[in-house]
Amino acid sequence: MPKKLNKDASTEEKIKQAAKRLFTQKGFAETKTREIAEESGINLALLNYYFRSKQGLYNIIMKENMASFKQGLAELFGDTQLDVYQKIEKLAHYYIDEFITNPDLPMFIVNTIYMAGNDSTILEEDETSASRKIFVNQIKELVAQRKIKPIHPAHILSNMMGLIIFPFVIGPLLKKRANINDKAFVEMMKERKKLIPVWIKSMLEN
């Protein structure tokens, strides 16, 4: 009986890499199987051979992208050693670096969240839920201690995520309209790693 071979190597991984790029960039419907095949230099049938279907491949990519997005989130939010501001700072640093490396990821995430409005199953409870509650409780405590203004934690979540993710999503607009080139854009995003925590602090404090 032959055993599985080529576990590390090429074909399967090549397909995934091309698919990741295309799905992340253009979404599910706009990405065609033949495009993935061509992009990865493999025969069309191999997509189905390795991944059963386009949807199956997409699910894997989505899972990986989401894992990449969630990675560290649970631990960070759940860490009882760090205060709210330290968490925000770490969050901004981690994700902005992640998004600079993988610039299509923000739009993919946004699309995935948005689609969850219709195709629900994606936003199930997961390992981040419990730790997010710890973070939310830290905020509530600050409010109770009158250290920050009374505010619904969802506002803070929205603001943090918006300030971190949104500029990447409207990158093309900034680049065209504000005459920012790619390099300057990256510099600006790096600046935001420091600015966002400060901004949020100013927003919250009494």
What pairs with residue 148 in β-bridges?
Answer: 205
The reply on whether position 134 binds a second copy by CB under 8 A is: no
The reply on whether position 5 binds DNA by CB under 7 A is: yes
Q: Which of 101, 154, 181, 183 contacts a second copy by CB under 8 A?
A: 154
The reply on whether position 38 binds DNA by CB under 7 A is: no
Q: How far is the CB of 205 from DNA (least distance, A)?
A: 51
Look at residues 120, 116, 119, 109 and name the one whose alpha carbon lies nearest to residue 24: 109
Distance CA 72, CA 68 (A): 9
Evaluate whether 105 touches 24 at the Cβ level (below 8 Å): yes
The reply on whether position 32 binds DNA by CB under 7 A is: yes
**3-state class of 203 per DSSP?**
helix
| Partner in contact with 155, chosen from DNA, a second copy, none, beta carbon below 5 to 8 Å by kind | a second copy
Contacts with DNA by CB under 7 A: the residue count is 24
Backbone angles phi, psi at 205, to 5 degrees: -65, 150
Q: Which of 11, 27, 33, 39 contacts a second copy by CB under 8 A?
A: 27
Q: Considering beta carbons, is residue 50 or 85 the nearer one to DNA?
A: 50
For residue 115, the surrounding DSSP H or E stretch is helix 105-115
The reply on whether position 158 binds DNA by CB under 7 A is: no
Restricted to residues 177-196, the positions that interact with a second copy (CB under 8 A) are 177-178, 180, 188, 191-192, 195
Distance CA 188, CA 178 (A): 12
Distance CA 138, CA 88 (A): 12
Residues 6 or more apart from 151 whose CB is under 8 A from it?
139, 143, 204
The reply on whether position 153 binds a second copy by CB under 8 A is: yes
Other Cβ atoms within 10 Å of 29 Cβ, number: 6
- Name the residues that contact DNA, by CB under 7 A: 1-6, 10-11, 31-34, 42-49, 52-55
- Name the residues that contact a second copy, by CB under 8 A: 25, 27-30, 107, 110-111, 113-114, 116-118, 120, 123, 129, 132, 151-155, 157-159, 161-163, 165-167, 169-174, 176-178, 180, 188, 191-192, 195, 199, 202-203, 205
